[in-house]
């Protein structure tokens, strides 16, 4: 019994597997487009939701642009102020330090000028414990100390720019500089006592007299960021190489932590356990500032009008967040192409990353090891991020180009909405259902969906109205379904909104849109008559493979029966067969439909068509012309789509093909002569045919020599009236006295005549 069952099981499995093989060759007419939210939703199209690198939608923060007139054209850095509602901002191009007063109740802010410095760009500010402010500027590399709204000390260091500050204690600060890349140690008290110095000082003793000493130096051009690890060592990130260095707590020669090429270290985030997180931007142009001034001054905007969405050029580099364990090797946690990372902060198991050049906000789940995309900004760059003290889950975001501030809030569950970018369906199509694999912690009734279509590729112009999708077989094991009946187009956008009380654990899986592409008519690629009087012995079709590969099951290739039939036809044998005519065609369907063809002929002057082959799947036919009267016959080929295309949808294409010449009458020899001179015999034939082009002549001499030519005297064989000439040396026919001349046409008909000449003496 076990043996019988085993045989039956094997037969069943074999038949089941063969069914898969057949399925691989039968491509359905409908298609499906996968909707990967992580790939298909830009950051700016998210509200209260986030996309995750596994393609799903999850709950996310809200980003609110604060509709207040920008206090400056360029906002470079954000520093906590005296309390939770006050912030310091370094600005340009007027060299101002601003104080921002943020109102958490209505998410607005007011700004005032703290001081205007003599240098245009303020790249770094740091509030000291006693309330004074350190400021670093560019392009003269001037260091300032500001107290009570006045610059009480200034010193132009032997550098071009100052990028960052790090407070070691109440009496010591480190300064990161560019061109050259150095770290200076500053004693703020001694520095302030030195007062304002206009000229640039390079002498080490004069710098030391004013509280500035060299802490360390690197060979790269700029030191962009400084941080202190839990063990007291100092970390510096450089540009344009993007190398990370460590210094001893007291300075000295650097040790390379990680070497990079053509990169910029944009932020450093030490962890309490001794680990370090670093954001690194890789691009060929990192040596230059990526934030550019706006085209128009900010003060030309109305007081509460948000600027338009910045349209920055797409960034061609990539960015990474790299983890440097305290006792291990570096590990890249997340990397994004065409995006620049600016700042990174940690909130529990989440990393929050600000970016550009399209105002993106990113995240990374340290526990699940998955990347996230949060709601983005209308500005091009988000180059500042700081937590709001006393408000867990809320962050103040500094944005540039257009300049301003925004509020990032993980605590408020407001509108949760997402809109995909333009989805290319490949061809104009009729839309079917939109389905999701699963909705987690979300009822079908809490999901509202809309769609719009366009026949143009423009992201803005030419789109139809948003159309609500009707819930279909929701709750089915295959996932929820929403119908898009009646919508047609080449491009598609989807908008999804969560309604009701969707919780923070909500997840929406990747979606699938089912479409029926536009049905296009068959196309005639090739048509020709094979030379008459030959028959075709069709080659035997190769049997289908009895095995399949895993790649065929996962990614089945499109069916191409036309190509297989053509290949089989070209392997066929040709044999002589008087009166037989072969016709070959190649009809393809742009959508891969099954197509049958009907070939018909009609004699010139008649009105009725004669079908020589009907609804054939083959790409050829052959027939006998012996019973057909001489004349010119018009031909046509009618291609018709067949199942699985529904009868009402089957399209037909009629092609007027080449004329067929049926000619059973031999040509006429108007003149045939043979002339002999001293060293040769010249055979000349002038002929004419009523229907067919003349093909050539054959000459059989009575000494057994055979000669032929298909080259007419005028050089071009293009007429039903031609002259042909053959010259034969006497040495080859010295004993011949006559020859039989045969004139034949393109239809295989021939006529013969004997010619002679005097024998040689």
pLDDT at 456: 95
- With respect to residue 537, please indicate whether it lies within any of the assigned structural domains: yes
In this prediction, residues 671-688 reach a mean pLDDT of 93
315-367 pLDDT tens trace: 889 999 999 999 989 999 999 999 999 999 999 999 999 988 788 999 999 99
pTM (2 d.p.): 0.79
pLDDT(568) > 80: no
Residue after which a domain boundary falls, among 662, 696, 718 = 662
Give the N- to C-terminal CA distance of the chain in Å, as an integer: 101
693 Cβ partners below 8 Å, 6+ apart? Answer: 717, 718, 719, 720, 745, 746
Same domain, 582 and 649: yes
Alpha-carbon distance of 412 to 62, in angstroms, equals 7
Of all residues in the chain, what percent carry a pLDDT higher than 90?
A: 72
Q: Which of 118, 150, 151 is nearest to 137 (CA)?
A: 118
Q: What is the CATH number of the domain that holds 509?
A: 2.60.40
Write out the DSSP string of 97-123. Answer: EEEEEEETTTTEEEEEEEEE-SSSEEE
Residue with tokens 């989807």: 494
Same domain, 535 and 644: yes
pLDDT(458) > 70: yes
Question: By three-state DSSP, how is residue 142 classified?
Answer: strand
- With respect to residue 98, please indicate whether it lies within any of the assigned structural domains: no
Higher pLDDT: 466 or 356? It is 466
Same domain, 502 and 594: no
Under a CB-based contact definition with an 8 Å cutoff, are residues 339 and 319 in contact?
yes
Mean pLDDT of the chain: 88
pLDDT(294) > 80: no
Q: How, if at all, do strands 481-483 and 423-436 pair? A: antiparallel
Residue after which a domain boundary falls, among 467, 502, 517 = 517
Same domain, 621 and 653: yes
Query: How far apart, in Å, are the Cα atoms of 366 and each of 156, 318, 371?
Result: 43, 20, 9
614-655 pLDDT tens trace: 999 989 999 999 999 999 999 999 999 999 899 999 999 999
Q: What is the CATH number of the domain that holds 590?
A: 2.60.40.10
The strand pairing partners of 631, in sequence order, are: 662
- With respect to residue 394, please indicate whether it lies within any of the assigned structural domains: no
- With respect to residue 434, please indicate whether it lies within any of the assigned structural domains: yes
Residue after which a domain boundary falls, among 502, 517, 532 = 517
Same domain, 528 and 656: yes
The pLDDT-based confidence of 5 (bands split at 50, 70, 90) is: very low
pLDDT at 559: 60
Same domain, 533 and 625: yes
- With respect to residue 332, please indicate whether it lies within any of the assigned structural domains: no
Same domain, 505 and 607: no
Same domain, 623 and 749: no
Listed in order, strand segments (DSSP E) in 348-444 are 350-356, 361-365, 370-374, 381-387, 394-400, 404-409, 416-419, 423-436, 439-440
Question: By three-state DSSP, how is residue 554 classified?
Answer: helix
- With respect to residue 358, please indicate whether it lies within any of the assigned structural domains: no
Same domain, 678 and 748: yes
pLDDT at 297: 40
12-55 pLDDT tens trace: 434 444 444 333 344 678 899 999 999 999 999 999 999 999 99
512 Cβ partners below 8 Å, 6+ apart? Answer: 32, 33, 34, 35, 434, 435, 436, 437
Same domain, 511 and 432: yes
Same domain, 650 and 696: no
pLDDT at 108: 87
Quote the domain boundaries for residue 735: 668-756
- With respect to residue 492, please indicate whether it lies within any of the assigned structural domains: yes
pLDDT(295) > 90: no
Dig out the tokens for 272 from the structure: 């309490």
Alpha-carbon distance of 420 to 43, in angstroms, equals 10
In this prediction, residues 63-87 reach a mean pLDDT of 90
Alpha-carbon distance of 591 to 30, in angstroms, equals 10
In this prediction, residues 270-297 reach a mean pLDDT of 70
pLDDT at 105: 79
How many domains, the chain?
A: 3
Q: Cis before residue 180, ω within 30 degrees of 0?
A: yes
734-755 pLDDT tens trace: 788 999 999 999 999 999 999 9
- With respect to residue 252, please indicate whether it lies within any of the assigned structural domains: no
The pLDDT-based confidence of 486 (bands split at 50, 70, 90) is: confident
Same domain, 445 and 511: yes
């Amino acid at each position: 019994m076990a043996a019988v069952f085993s045989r039956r099981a094997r037969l069943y499995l074999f038949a089941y597997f063969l069914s898969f093989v057949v399925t691989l060759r039968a491509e359905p007419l409908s298609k499906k487009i996968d909707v990967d939210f992580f790939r298909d939703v830009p950051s700016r199209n998210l509200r209260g939701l986030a996309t995750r690198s596994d393609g799903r939608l999850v709950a996310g923060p809200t980003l609110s642009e604060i509709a207040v007139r920008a206090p400056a054209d360029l906002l470079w850095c954000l520093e906590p102020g005296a309390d939770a509602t006050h912030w310091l901002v370094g600005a340009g191009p007027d060299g101002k330090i601003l104080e921002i007063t943020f109102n958490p109740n209505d998410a607005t802010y007011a700004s005032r000028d703290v001081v205007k410095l003599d240098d245009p760009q303020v790249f770094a500010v740091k509030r000291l414990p006693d309330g004074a402010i350190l400021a670093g500027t560019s392009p003269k590399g001037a260091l300032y100390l500001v107290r009570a709204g006045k610059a009480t000390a200034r010193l132009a260091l032997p550098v071009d720019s100052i990028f960052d500050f790090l407070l070691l204690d109440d009496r010591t600060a480190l300064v990161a500089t560019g061109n050259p890349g150095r770290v200076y140690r500053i004693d703020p008290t001694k520095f302030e006592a030195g007062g304002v110095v206009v000229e640039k000082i390079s002498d080490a003793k004069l710098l030391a007299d004013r509280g500035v000493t060299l802490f360390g130096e690197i060979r790269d051009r700029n030191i962009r960021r400084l941080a202190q690890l839990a063990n007291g060592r100092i970390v510096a990130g450089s540009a344009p190489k993007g190398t990370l260095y460590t210094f001893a707590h007291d300075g000295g020669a650097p040790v390379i932590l990680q070497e990079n090429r053509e990169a910029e270290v944009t932020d450093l985030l030490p962890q309490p356990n001794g680990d370090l997180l670093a954001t690194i931007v890789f691009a060929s142009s990192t040596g230059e500032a990526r934030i550019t001034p706006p085209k128009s001054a900010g003060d030309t905007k109305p007081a509460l009008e948000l600027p338009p969405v910045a349209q920055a050029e797409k960034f061609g580099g990539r960015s990474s967040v790299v983890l440097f364990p305290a006792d291990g090797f570096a590990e890249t946690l997340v990397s994004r192409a065409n995006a620049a990372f600016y700042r990174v902060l940690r909130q529990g198991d989440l990393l929050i990353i600000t970016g550009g050049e399209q105002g993106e906000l990113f995240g990374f789940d340290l526990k699940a090891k998955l990347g996230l995309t949060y709601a983005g900004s209308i500005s091009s760059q988000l180059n500042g991020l700081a937590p709001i003290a006393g408000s867990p889950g809320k962050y103040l975001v500094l944005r540039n180009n257009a300049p301003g501030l925004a509020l990032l809030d993980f605590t408020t569950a407001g509108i949760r909405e997402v809109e995909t970018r333009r989805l290319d369906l490949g061809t104009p199509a009729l839309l079917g259902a939109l389905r999701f694999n699963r909705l987690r912690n979300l009822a079908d009734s809490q999901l509202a969906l809309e769609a719009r279509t366009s026949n143009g590729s423009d992201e803005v112009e030419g789109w139809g109205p948003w159309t609500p999708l009707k819930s279909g077989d929701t709750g089915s094991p295959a996932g929820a379904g929403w119908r898009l009946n009646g919508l047609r187009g080449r491009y598609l956008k989807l908008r999804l909104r969560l309604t009701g009380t969707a919780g923070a654990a909500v997840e929406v899986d990747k979606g699938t849109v089912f479409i029926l592409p536009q049905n296009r008519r068959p196309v005639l690629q090739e048509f020709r008559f094979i030379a008459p009087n030959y028959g075709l012995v069709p080659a035997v079709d190769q049997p289908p493979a009895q095995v399949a590969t895993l790649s065929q099951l996962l990614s089945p290739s499109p069916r191409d029966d036309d190509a297989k039939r053509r290949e089989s036809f070209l392997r066929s044998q040709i044999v002589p067969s008087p009166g037989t005519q072969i016709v070959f065609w190649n009809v393809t369907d742009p959508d891969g439909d099954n197509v049958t063809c009907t070939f018909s002929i009609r004699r010139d002057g008649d009105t009725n068509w004669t079908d020589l082959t009907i609804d054939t799947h083959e790409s050829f036919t052959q027939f006998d012309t012996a019973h057909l009267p001489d004349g010119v016959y018009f031909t046509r080929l009618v291609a018709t789509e067949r199942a699985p295309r529904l009868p009402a949808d089957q399209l037909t294409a009629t092609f007027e093909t080449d004329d067929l010449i049926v000619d059973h009458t031999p040509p006429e020899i108007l003149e045939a002569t043979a002339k002999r001179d001293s060293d040769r015999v010249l055979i000349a034939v002038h002929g004419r045919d009523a229907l067919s082009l003349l093909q050539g002549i054959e000459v059989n001499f009575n000494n057994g020599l055979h000669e032929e030519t298909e080259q007419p005297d005028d050089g071009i064989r293009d007429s039903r009236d031609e002259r042909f000439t053959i010259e034969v040396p006497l040495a080859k026919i010295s004993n011949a006295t006559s020859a039989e001349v045969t004139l034949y046409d393109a239809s295989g008909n021939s006529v013969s005549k004997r010619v002679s000449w005097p024998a040689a003496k």
